[in-house]
Structure 1
Amino acid sequence: MSKRSPRRARGAGPAFPSESDPRSKKMHAAAFEALSLALASADDARLDDARLMEVVPNPDDAHLLAVISAPADACESVREALSEARAYLRREIATEVNRKRAPELGFVVLATVDADAITKTEDEVR
């Protein structure tokens, strides 16, 4: 009796998209560009200092995670603004990404460190 590997559903792709998959790379690049432009043109002043760092699948291409950097004192307001703008940002991605359904969006906001503040702190310590 031979051992058989478990059967996969017909047409099912890999559980996690490969970094080398050209379709995934193209979709992530289009999503990155669409989000970058949408953030830059947003009317919400809370998003002025927000910068898109990366767009990654979370856990697959149907869900995208946008990694955003913002000044430490503005992180909470940026999170709120992104939450309020989620539908708009998803529509912007849908116009650029050729898919049956636009991917769901999640956000991670990372605090950036002000280089001038570090220099001032170092000078104070000396």
Structure 2
Amino acid sequence: MTTSQLGISSQHEDTHPEGEAQTGFNICPFLGMEDDPQTSFLFTSPGNFCHRLKPPKAVSIGYQGATCFDSKAFVKCPIYQKKWDGTLPEGFRHRNGNNSSQQPLTPPRWVILLLLLSLILLGISAYMSLL
């Protein structure tokens, strides 16, 4: 199975003036995997990073679809043009999914937790009274 069949492209050496990579894929030449700037997925993926930025940053799926995989759009990207002022374009940054360990407990969970704690304390109390 080839890398093309896997949806992976190793192609970012040179681009034509129109922005089309040598392989014929219309992908921004700065889009690549986190540890391999020369290789990118041929589809939007959380594994694609912008290597114009140092250190490379993950690019949101929406921004990739609207900009990075469109040769007419990525040449207008302020990061591609080096015309950004340090703030990333709207919708650029990939946001990790919510980390449930950092989310507050919802009221139903609090109720269940409180009931379980009450049952445990009641069990301990009943056990102690038998002694």
TM-score normalised by L of structure 2: 0.26
Q: Which has the higher strand share?
A: 1
The structure whose Rg is larger is: 2
Q: Which has the higher helix share?
A: 1
Greater RCO (Cα-Cα under 8 Å, separation 6 or more): 1
TM-score normalised by L of structure 1: 0.27
